[in-house]
């Protein structure tokens, strides 16, 4: 069996590495039924940190193809990706194309494969924010509809697909758990303290980067005023995204010494921060889950989240950008005895389950 894996951003490499390791394990035990995986990096998110050291430290296979497509509009980027991915598929003739999440790389890989009658598997299928203004929502919905097998991380994802009529569509759906849980468990022992953080410090971890927050001055001011109030009670550590840095400067928003602004961190450092913080305030989708993986309450400064099971189990709290609501929720969370014992994202064997299903299909 030959699989082409399409990825376009650093988080997708981390997710794909989970399945790549499972493929290696399968091959070590099944010499007569080997799987060949070739990785295609579209280049969607240019990341200077993705050097050879990144792949070596993370134990991630290096891409076999690098398409170098970035810094374009959504339409131009997706169109060019389809064209170049199609050329790779014509050359390699895979049995499966494997895509992850909800980026332009995801939908481009799925479309290129489907039009060539190559089977498509979608990891992180069935997630919905129900906000069609998000490009990611469009990408994930369309990818789900044209895939041949959907690997769903949660029961909520399975339910979303059922509600959309997938019972009447010949697409296999598998609730397999979350590859990011596998990754978090695998990399925990490699976590690294950021140099700027004092050992044993008591802090709240915050990340703010989503366009709907950073591009709206009123929202950004409200969020940072709330962080300033919270920082009077407990230090806030803020790895600052370049987009947010630029917007803060443009809007004339300054932070006090109570907020420790640090450079963006790598995955190993983020795991350390998650392991050692008291709570999380974020607008990141992935960090909401990772906070749960490390038993940390999360306050989400968005109007919606794809990870609604975290809300239902009262480990994540959706507050939007309202200053008072952010502060009140933080104070309330500090008094709560939160139960993190529920199993929401599998048991850490998602990669193996995905490989097992692809072999069976």
pLDDT in tens, 247-300: 999 999 999 988 999 998 888 999 999 999 999 999 998 899 999 999 999 999
162 and 215 belong to one structural domain: no
291 and 221 belong to one structural domain: yes
Distances (CA, A) of 69 to 9, 106, 354: 11, 13, 28
107 and 18 belong to one structural domain: yes
184 in any annotated domain: no
Q: Is 224's pLDDT higher than 90?
A: yes
12 in any annotated domain: yes
Confidence of residue 11 (pLDDT cuts 50, 70, 90): confident
The pLDDT value given to residue 56:
81
Confidence of residue 211 (pLDDT cuts 50, 70, 90): confident
DSSP reduced 3-state for 93:
coil
236 in any annotated domain: yes
**In terms of DSSP bridges, do strands 298-300 and 279-282 run parallel, antiparallel, or are they unpaired?**
parallel
| pLDDT tens-place string over residues 120-175 | 999 999 999 898 988 999 999 999 999 999 999 999 999 999 999 999 999 999 99
Q: Is 252 within 8 Å of 245 (Cβ atoms)?
A: no
Q: Which residues are catalytic?
A: 209
Residue 349 DSSP symbol: -
Taken in order 209, 215, 216, 217, the sign of the CA dihedral is positive
Q: Is 209 within 8 Å of 239 (Cβ atoms)?
A: no
57 and 147 belong to one structural domain: yes
pLDDT average, residue stretch 171-196: 94
Run of H or E residues at 149: strand 149-152
Confidence of residue 90 (pLDDT cuts 50, 70, 90): very high
164 and 247 belong to one structural domain: no
120 and 219 belong to one structural domain: no
340 in any annotated domain: no
The pLDDT value given to residue 198:
81
Distances (CA, A) of 317 to 206, 216, 250: 14, 22, 29
Whole-number Å distance between alpha carbons of 296 and 274:
8
What percentage of residues in the chain have a pLDDT greater than 90?
A: 85
341 in any annotated domain: no
Q: Is 82 within 8 Å of 106 (Cβ atoms)?
A: no
Whole-number Å distance between alpha carbons of 237 and 239:
7
Q: Which tokens go with 222? A: 């409200």
Domain total in the chain? 2
Average pLDDT, the chain: 94
Among the residue ranges 47-61, 171-185, 325-339, the one predicted with the least confidence is: 47-61
339 in any annotated domain: no
338 in any annotated domain: no
pTM score = 0.89
195 and 82 belong to one structural domain: no
Q: Is 200's pLDDT higher than 80?
A: no
Q: Which domain holds residue 327?
A: 189-333
Q: Look-up: residue for tokens 């300054």?
A: 254
Whole-number Å distance between alpha carbons of 270 and 265:
6
148 in any annotated domain: yes
155 and 31 belong to one structural domain: yes
Q: Is 65's pLDDT higher than 80?
A: yes
Whole-number Å distance between alpha carbons of 242 and 330:
26
The pLDDT value given to residue 47:
65
Confidence of residue 115 (pLDDT cuts 50, 70, 90): very high
Residue 81 sits in a domain of what CATH number?
3.40.50.2000
194 and 153 belong to one structural domain: no
The pLDDT value given to residue 148:
98
Q: Look-up: residue for tokens 């044209």?
A: 146
Buried (b) or exposed (e) across 2-32, using 16+ Cβ within 10 A?
ebbbbbbbbbbbbbbbbbbbbbeebeeeeee
pLDDT average, residue stretch 38-61: 78
The pLDDT value given to residue 77:
95
pLDDT average, residue stretch 314-331: 98
Q: Is 42's pLDDT higher than 90?
A: yes
């Amino acid at each position: 069996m030959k699989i082409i894996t399409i990825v376009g951003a650093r988080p997708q490499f981390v997710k794909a590495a989970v399945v790549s390791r499972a493929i290696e394990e399968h091959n070590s035990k099944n010499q007569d039924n080997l799987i060949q995986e070739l990785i295609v990096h579209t280049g969607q998110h240019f990341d200077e940190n993705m050097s050879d050291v990144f792949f070596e430290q993370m134990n991630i296979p290096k891409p076999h193809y690098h398409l170098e497509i970035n810094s374009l509009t959504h339409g131009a980027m997706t169109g060019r990706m389809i064209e170049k991915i199609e050329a790779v598929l014509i050359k390699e003739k895979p049995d499966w194309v494997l895509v992850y999440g909800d980026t332009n790389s995801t939908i481009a890989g799925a479309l290129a494969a489907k039009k060539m009658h190559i089977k498509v598997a979608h990891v992180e299928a069935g997630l919905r924010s129900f906000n069609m203004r998000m490009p990611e929502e469009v990408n994930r919905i369309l990818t789900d509809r044209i895939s041949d097998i959907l690997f769903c991380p949660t029961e909520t994802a399975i339910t979303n697909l059922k509600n959309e009529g997938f019972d009447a569509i010949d697409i296999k759906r598998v609730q397999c758990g979350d590859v990011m849980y596998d990754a978090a468990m695998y990399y925990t022992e490699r976590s690294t303290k950021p140099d700027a953080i004092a050992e044993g410090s008591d802090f709240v971890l915050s990340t703010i980067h989503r366009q709907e927050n950073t591009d709206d001055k009123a929202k950004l001011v409200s969020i940072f005023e709330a962080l300033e109030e919270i920082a009077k009670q407990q230090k806030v550590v803020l790895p600052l995204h370049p987009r947010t840095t630029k917007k803060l400067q443009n809007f004339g928003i300054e932070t006090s010494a109570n907020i420790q602004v640090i450079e963006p961190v790598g995955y190993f450092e983020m795991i350390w921060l998650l392991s050692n913080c008291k709570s999380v305030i974020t607008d990141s989708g992935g960090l909401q889950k990772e906070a749960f993986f490390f038993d940390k309450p999360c306050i989400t400064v968005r109007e919606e989240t794809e990870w609604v099971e975290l809300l239902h189990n009262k480990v994540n709290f959706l507050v939007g950008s309202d200053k008072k609501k952010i502060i009140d929720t933080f104070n309330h969370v500090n008094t709560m005895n939160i139960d993190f014992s529920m199993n929401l994202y599998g048991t850490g064997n998602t990669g193996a389950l995905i490989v097992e299903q692809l072999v069976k299909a």
